[in-house]
Structure 1
């Protein structure tokens, strides 16, 4: 299995590990102790409740709050997302030159591989590519995204304080197959409109990630599926603006001049 795929699978494993913390299904309040509760989960819960109170009296008040807070969080981490997408795009554009280097230094002896590593690093420097730039933003985003995930789940575990209500006649405190499937489909669209679609090493994730989201969605509260739906919808818009997938098959100006 390729290195990039291992990296992605490792990141997914970290998400699953953190999502399964012992306090995942415990009630949450302002008196909950610990750094994670005091500085990440409870502030997110309070933020959601702030917007929910603005729609008090509406059965979908928490749904509207989740949508608003999800969009706000996505806008906050937008600079990181842009950096991640641009880095992935540069890496993809550099693939033909990397394949040339691999063919040039196909021998597996230590001296040849050392020379290959040197030229590869030089190529990355001249191309302005940082191999860690694509992973670092994901690691920075994880505490925020997992914290939001925990906030909704633990609000659902505190029904006396947080009545999640319904959205489009779907009870947010109960699992919803419909919401889960929609979340998985939009996750697939996210991957189809992003740089992963052009990377053969990452294509397996285009099938694993949507299935994982559907699997979690059919057993977890619909509020979490709603969070995934909104977050992934924002990601699709970001990909369309940043990555412009409709241009990927168009020859660039340099290639067009060379063909004349």
Structure 2
């Protein structure tokens, strides 16, 4: 009996969902806990400078650079702590490198306010740091060593009512005084890095500034769904491509070197990035290269700056470490916003994000309701085309008995059956392909929306209602995917069923298959699909009534 079959299928589905839930919980509990403790390392490789290749050097080299190192090894040096409203940051006085960046406004995991997300860090088993220095004739950094700066304090904090925080590291180079200045701004993830050079010697001073991101290929933990892996690697602006990206394997296989006006170089991961932005009015050289020890270098070198005797000068760049905020990245440098990678359907995804952002900012402060309103907007935009397809499907459903009669009458004459079927289609204005049109229209939007939602950092840990505390992650109880499958099944019942038994069976299995795939999709995307199905159901029900009544 039918009730027994449905009861059995429901029981099997419940058992499968319970097993998936337990497996998911097991996977989360056995995930390794990353090492968060920052360590001090010496930047000199174990090999001597004389035997190092150019690719192995910790800093880039100019053609005429000498190997004069500054400072002695000091493994016990104390790191400089900087706290702002957005950063918990550590600076190594050896070289003035940024060796840790924790983003205070982003939790490492949901409901862990005491554990901010660590973007950059140097631990026992992980390296991701931002280095900068001076190279060339009077450079302070070389293959032989890095300078050891002095600092007035080891702890700095942005105080209430203070908009900027300045941290100065000083170095005496003969008769030349060098100050490496970090300037932090309230509410901003862009850090100004400036070298102030006071040349009190009797000879001209010359050096070029470099900035680089040094990182291993360790992947950060992500949770964006089955079969999906966000891009992890380097990106830069080149003369031929506004957004050129290489993963670590590509960099190891083929190093890249480009000289462009302005430009930038970035390390991109899911939701976040770090980037060096040199002066935009100079021709800077960028390089992506693999180093020894499993490390990679993504950096720039600016043209040398000459400072006459008795004069002062500056060399500067900016370093960004924070979320993929598309509007802020647009302001920092041309094409830097392309690191928010919407895929090949970016021309659909970017306007969709603009509409979603507008809805969330001006209509619905909750991102979940904003997604639902975006769905209504998309359905209204596509209604004239989708309604035509829905009407055609409704007519096919209305005249299905006549079509079945024709199939029985001409079951032994396929040519005559085709002719009579086409006559029926023309007479009743039925388009057999009309039902495919709504699906064909939705698929590019669905794919673009998928990439938009998976790249939108604003959705990370953004709650909706009840048990949905993170729209960027999968539903922890798989309730939304089950509702999506149920809505898809009900939507099928409103449309004509295929006459071929095999096609009919496949269509019956589609809700089950889609539910399985959607189990690991971001909750925000599943929410969109549920809203889309419910609107489609209402639209189909209304048009079916109109067709049955002969009004359309």
Please list, as runs of the form range in 1=range in 2, the aligned pairs for 1:59-74 lying within 5 A after superposition: 61-74=366-379
**Change in 2 beyond 3 A, CA 1:48/1:181:** same
In 2, Cα distance between the equivalents of 1:116 and 1:227? 41
- 1:90 corresponds, among 367, 381, 395, to 395
Question: Which consecutive residues of structure 2, in runs of 5 or more, have no partner in the other structure?
Answer: 1-224, 232-269, 271-323, 327-336
Q: TM-score, normalised by structure 1?
A: 0.69
- 1:116 corresponds, among 398, 417, 425, to 417
Higher strand share: 2
Q: CA deviation at 1:120?
A: 2.3
- 1:224 corresponds, among 510, 525, 544, to 525
Higher helix share: 1
In 1, Cα distance between the equivalents of 2:483 and 2:431? 34
In 1, Cα distance between the equivalents of 2:530 and 2:342? 30
Q: TM-score, normalised by structure 2?
A: 0.35
Q: Is the aligned partner of 1:172 residue 2:480?
A: no
Match of 2:409?
Answer: 104
Q: CA deviation at 1:35?
A: 8.0
Q: Is the aligned partner of 1:214 residue 2:515?
A: yes
Match of 1:187?
Answer: 488
Q: CA deviation at 1:24?
A: 7.2
Q: CA deviation at 1:69?
A: 0.5
- 2:453 corresponds, among 152, 173, 184, to 152
In 2, Cα distance between the equivalents of 1:68 and 1:84? 23
Q: Is the aligned partner of 1:31 residue 2:338?
A: yes
Match of 1:126?
Answer: 427
Q: CA deviation at 1:218?
A: 2.2
Q: 1:165-190, CA deviations, whole angstroms, 9 ceiling, x for partnerless residues? A: 10114121221112222222222232
**Change in 2 beyond 3 A, CA 1:126/1:119:** same
**Change in 2 beyond 3 A, CA 1:143/1:24:** farther
Contact 1:24 1:154 in 2 (8 A): no
Q: CA deviation at 1:66?
A: 0.8
Match of 2:249?
Answer: none
Q: Aligned Cα RMSD in Å?
A: 3.4
In 2, Cα distance between the equivalents of 1:70 and 1:211? 23
In 2, Cα distance between the equivalents of 1:85 and 1:67? 22
Larger Rg: 2
Match of 1:3?
Answer: none
In 2, Cα distance between the equivalents of 1:162 and 1:51? 14
Q: CA deviation at 1:232?
A: 1.6
In 1, Cα distance between the equivalents of 2:391 and 2:441? 17
Please list, as runs of the form range in 1=range in 2, the aligned pairs for 1:13-52 lying within 5 A after superposition: 25-26=230-231, 29=326, 30-31=337-338, 36-52=344-360
